[in-house]
Every structure is written in C-alpha cells, then in structure tokens.
A and B are shown apart, each in its own frame.
Chain A
C-alpha cells in the first residue's frame, strides 16, 4: 500500500510564495498528473516529495511513513528528470544497476532487474553502451528503466517527454502508459501539456500559481472545471465564460459568469426564441468539426459546430447553451454546484 499524502505544504523562495498550502491525497497505484503552466510550482512540489527540496511547512507521507524530514535516499522513491540525467561515465547496464548497487542488492537480483527493466523499455541491446552513444529517446528509456529497476514505492517524473520530438513523444507516451500500468507503482507525473495529462492520468491536479485548483479524474476536470482558471486552461479552445446578461432563465444566486464549452451549444441558422444572435468572425474547418470565433455585443465566443452547417464569416448564427452543460461561476471564479 503506497499512498502519498501531501499536507499543507508551503514553500517560498525569497519573497515569492511558490507553494501556498498544497494538499493532495494520492491513492495506492494511482497515476497522478500535476498539470499547470510553466512556473506554477509543479517541479517544486515534485522535488519536495522527492526530498530534493525542503518544505517551509507541511508534511509528506508515503504510506504510513512521514518522510518530510528524510533525505531522498531514505524515501524509497525514484525520479525521472527532464534532461534524463543518465550518468555519462557508466554503461547503460551500470546506470540501471546503480540504485540496486547502492542498496547492496545481491548480484543475481541486480542482473535480473536490469535485464527485465531494460527489456521492458526495449533497450536490452544497448546495455554495453555509454550515454554519449545514445539518442535522446534512448536516454529517456534508460532513465525510466533506471527508475523502475529499484522497484520504488513511488515513481516521480518531471516533464519526462518534453525534450523528445513530437512523434517520439506520442510513442513514448503510449509506451509509458502501458509500462506503468503494468508496474502498478504509485506515480506522480509533472507536465504542462494538457493532452499528455488527459491521456495518462488517473487523476489530474491542476495547479494555479502555487495552489491546486482541482484534483479529480480527467472527465470531471473537463466537464466540471472547479474554477474559471481550470476551465480556461483545459480544453482547446478553452471554455467560454459569459456574463449572465445574455442568459435567459434562472441564474443561481451569486453567479457572475456562465461557463460553457465550445461544443455545448444548440445551434440554429434561423432566429429562435431565447437563442442569441451572434456574428461569426472567423471559421476554421478542422476535419471532424468546424471551429468558429464569434461575437455578441463585444463578448467573444468560441463555438464548435458540425460540418453540415454552412456558414461564412460575417453571417449571423443563433446559439443557445445546452441546459445540462451550463456551469455557473462566482465573482471569485469558483464553480457553483
């Protein structure tokens, strides 16, 4: 049972509060993604879990063990770094064996684990090479194999795919998913790429300058963004936030914004009761659907509509948000449930 409990972790560098009381409850074998824009404190949180950075206050537990004040080597975690950090003066074999050697594992077990994880990551033919003789993708595989070989309680990854080119990244993403699913290791994975987060995560923690705005399964994050920030960070294009002046029907008490995804409108070419007349500004055909940007009294909308509707920029289109897809937000940008 390897849960991770992050309790009220605070961290500042100088005057800057980088983490403002962050809490997370990560379940056994869960794949959690820390998602947020660059600079929001994802790496700092991950490094505090690893013990590479110290928290100003708060507690980290791995399983039932409080590890907040232990050095990294006593936490039984493994980490994959963005720049791979493969030791250049050791062969691939020695790299993967490094953690086991430090733990004084018997030679037989070292050999077994190295060969098993190398085969898993498809680098078993490279064991005698040095990191200088490997491509970026191969180094990445060595870094993951090295982390898995120690059979850690917790696997931590900091943007492990971001240095790979696009095609390789897709391939590695799929591979990582199946490898990590099979290894059943509790994993915390940092990325700023929402597609990566959506496709890998059991649960996503969306970070907003030092806070976690929402920690939930990808579907919930997408359809019920807890804050305006989450709604506008996730989704491409992001959620529309519309002042309720346009709304007909009941507005919940305290609501100042209506949040609605671009694909969640009823669309009509003719005027209808309660539909908003919007002016189409641009239209892009994206294959599976068309994406419009449109305007009503200075309010901008992003709308996805089916290909069958013929429309040109300058035309007027009539929209109504689907009742069950409306989300309401307070002045402070919090969802009203």
Chain B
C-alpha cells in the first residue's frame, strides 16, 4: 500500500465509487424494466390476440405479432347486447363522473383551504371508505336498493360507483387546490371579488386541467367496476357485468376482443392524467 501515491489512492476510490454507482443504476433500471413489462406484456398479448384470427389464437406456435385481423373485434361488437351494455356503461360512468366531481370538488376545496375540527379524521375516513371490499357490500346494497326501488337502475349503480370514486375526487382536487397559492384568492378578494367570484375567476381556470383529470378518473372507476354492476343490474347490465355473464361461454378469441375493448378507455385515460395522479399520491402518502 505504501508505494501507492495519494493521487493513485484517490483515483482508485473514485473508480470504486463509480462502479458502485453504475451497479445501482443498472439494478434500478432493470427493476423498472421488469415492473413495466409486468404490466405491459399482458396488455400486449391481449392486443395481439384480439387482432388475430380465431385459427391463430387457438393454434400453435403462438405468434407475437398481430395480423390486424378485425374479425374477432367486429364479431364481438355485433354480439347481441354488447352495444346496449356499452351504452349503459357510458351512462353509469357519466352519472358517476358528474356526482363525484360535484361532491368531491367542494370537499377537496374545504380540505385544502379551511382548518376545521376533525379535519385529519375526515381525511382518514375518506381513505377508509376504500377499506370495505365491494364483494362484502354488494349483497346488502342489493337488498337496500330493492327496498328503496333503486335496483336495476343505472342511477343506483352510479351512486355505488360514486362511493368508490369520491375518495379519489376529494384527494385529487384537494391536492390541486393546495397547489394554488391562497394569496391569489386573497388578491382577488381585495380587488373586489366575493368568495365565489374569486373561485370562478382565479382558482377554477388554474385547477381546470386537474379537475378534468379527476373527472375522467371517476369515469374510469365506474367503467371498470364489475362486482356491484353484476349484482345490482339485471336488465340494464353494464359492459363489465355483461362480459362476466356472457363471455364465460364464448370462444377464446372473442374473450380477447371483449377484454381489449374494456381496458382501452382506461389506458388512454392514464396517459392523459398521469401527472395529476402523481400529485394525488403525494397527498395520500403524507
């Protein structure tokens, strides 16, 4: 050791540190790659199989390249009841979106701007609503809905979906409003606005992109929900409920097509709103 100069020792240490840094970086990147493919690979297979003809889907060896054969997809779309279920899904999701935003925005604003007793408890309760799994709630809900006459109605279903979506609407919107400096509102008040005018003229325009994201998120939660939909609707089935019941006996390539059509809106949505989801998680983790 003694015949190594100081510079040489230093250089060696720097090299060692660089090697470690590279190793961590490599480990990090490969974990990310693994997690990403964990999600993307099944989606890719779903897409390939929906875009392939029945023979290819059922044959061997499997192809990993799509043929762009539209037969399964068009068969699925023409299947009796699909279009109606699609329409029902759309209506339930729109209802859910409107109610969740209508209730979630004021609640989010209150969480962001006011100090009130039990605020932390309220925040916890909002998250806790997600602690009861739908399978547990669906049957009692069905009984209640039959008693009040809401059974088999899209409105009743969207109330349940709103219960699922509302926590997210509240948390997303409250994080949005937290990100808008309160001085902007105060400046507006001093310059002649009442609270409502200041909200509409200053807060709303700044929060609009995020509010849109939150609305679409509520839409997708309703769109994706299966269990409550299957239990609570009979004649007015949504697409998910319809698929659960009708596709269990369908050929496999049609199942693929149904699956693809089902997840497409969610994927598109995630691309649009991923920025706002991060800020929401920032809040939920605190």
Contacts and interface: CB of A to CB of B under 8 A. Distances in A.
Interface stretch (B74-82, B152-160, B179-187): B179-187
A122 interface: no
A78 interface: yes
B184 A85 contact: yes
A67 to B, nearest CB: 12
Contacts of A9: none
A102 B190 contact: no
B189 interface: yes
B205 interface: yes
Contacts, number: 55
Given A83-B181, A85-B181, A89-B205, A102 B192 contact: yes
B192 A79 contact: no
B150 interface: no
Contacts of A136: none
Given A85-B181, A85-B184, A79 B205 contact: no
Interface in A60-116: 71-73, 77-79, 81, 83, 85, 87-89, 98-99, 102-103
Contacts of B186: 52, 72, 79, 81, 85
A150 B187 contact: no
Nearest to B198: A73
B201 to A, nearest CB: 8
Interface string B187-203: 11111111001000010
Contact of B190 (A79, A83, A88, A89): A79
A221 interface: no
B190 A98 contact: no
Contact of B183 (A72, A73, A85, A150): A85
Given A79-B186, A85-B187, A102 B193 contact: yes
Point out which of B189, B191, B205 has the most chain A C-beta atoms below 10 A from its C-beta.
B191
Interface size class of B (residues with CB under 8 A): 10 to 19
A190 interface: no
A150 B205 contact: no
Contacts of A73: 189-194
B265 to A, nearest CB: 30
Point out which of A51, A85, A88, A98 has the most chain B C-beta atoms below 10 A from its C-beta.
A85
B247 interface: no
Contacts of B183: 81, 83, 85
A211 interface: no
B206 interface: yes
Given A88-B206, A89-B205, A89-B206, A98 B191 contact: yes
Contacts of B181: 83, 85
B247 to A, nearest CB: 47
A79 B206 contact: no
A72 B202 contact: no
B271 to A, nearest CB: 25
Interface of B is mostly: helix
B206 A50 contact: no
A102 B191 CA distance: 7
B189 A72 contact: yes
Contacts of A78: 190-191
Given A52-B186, A83-B183, A89-B206, A99 B192 contact: yes
Given A81-B183, A83-B181, A52 B190 contact: yes
A36 B207 CA distance: 37
B206 A71 contact: no
A79 B187 contact: yes
Contacts of A103: 192
Interface in B86-141: none
A146 interface: yes
Point out which of B186, B187, B188, B202 has the most chain A C-beta atoms below 10 A from its C-beta.
B187
Nearest to B187: A85
Interface in A136-170: 146, 150
A26 B41 CA distance: 72
Contacts of B190: 50-52, 72-73, 77-79
Nearest to B194: A73
Nearest to A88: B206
A334 to B, nearest CB: 37
Nearest to A50: B190
Interface in B165-188: 181, 183-184, 186-188
Given A81-B183, A81-B186, A150 B206 contact: no
A280 to B, nearest CB: 46
23 contacts: A51-B190, A71-B189, A72-B186, A73-B193, A77-B190, A79-B187, A79-B190, A81-B186, A83-B181, A85-B184, A85-B186, A85-B187, A87-B184, A87-B187, A87-B202, A88-B206, A89-B202, A89-B205, A102-B191, A102-B192, A103-B192, A150-B191, A150-B192
Given A79-B190, A81-B186, 7 more contacts: A50-B190, A51-B190, A78-B191, A85-B186, A89-B206, A102-B193, A146-B191
Q: In the A-B complex, list the 7 residue pairs whose CB atoms are closest, starting with the nearest.
A: A102-B192, A99-B191, A85-B183, A85-B187, A72-B189, A72-B190, A81-B183
Interface of B: 181, 183-184, 186-194, 197, 202, 205-206
